[in-house]
């Protein structure tokens, strides 16, 4: 049994999610939440830099390749922005100027993936998992 727990931890380590860095606004009970899931697939963004995810202009997470993060958010409009962060060519300040906004409904689950296009980093809707 003692060997099973460390082995299980090693198997689950790649599934770990990025930690949110900033507290998110809270809502009173009864309003409900929407779930926003953002993932950085290994081949979508061809850089070793971290991708910073900003919610309402505050950094909420940093994602390495293969990581994902989820947020319980109050229903309503959410402004999102993505940027590269880290050291060297990844230094803060190389952020995408344009952001995106979403309108979330209570009880809704939305999945997005980060992709690089000609206009910079963008969130694209990802298929729901069954």
**Average pLDDT for 101-109:** 93
The predicted-structure confidence for 63-87, as pLDDT tens digits, reads as follows 988 899 999 999 999 999 988 887 7
Say which residue the tokens 């309503």 belong to: 76
| Of residues 130, 127, 128, 121, the one with CA closest to residue 50 | 121
Confidence band for 27, pLDDT divided at 50, 70 and 90? very low
Task: Kindly indicate whether the domain formed by 34-125 is annotated with CATH number 3.30.410.
Answer: no
| Whether the predicted model's global pTM rises above the 0.95 cut | no
Q: 3-state SS of 56-78? A: CCEEEEEECCCCEEEEEECCEEE
| Higher-confidence position of 105 and 22 | 105
SS3 call for 74? coil
Helix, strand and coil percent figures for the chain, each rounded to 5: 10, 40, 45
């Amino acid at each position: 049994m003692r060997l099973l727990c460390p082995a299980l931890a090693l198997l689950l380590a790649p599934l770990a999610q990025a930690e949110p860095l900033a507290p998110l606004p809270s809502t009173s009970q009864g309003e409900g939440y929407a779930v926003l899931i953002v993932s950085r697939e290994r081949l979508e963004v061809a850089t070793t830099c971290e991708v910073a995810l900003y919610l309402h202009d505050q950094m909420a997470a940093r994602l390495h390749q293969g990581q994902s993060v989820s947020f319980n958010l109050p229903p309503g409009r959410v402004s999102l922005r993505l940027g590269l962060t880290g050291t060297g060519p990844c230094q803060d300040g190389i952020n995408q100027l344009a952001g995106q906004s979403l309108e979330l409904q209570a009880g809704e689950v939305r999945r997005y993936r980060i992709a690089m296009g000609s206009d910079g980093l963008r969130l694209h809707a990802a298929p729901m998992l069954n």
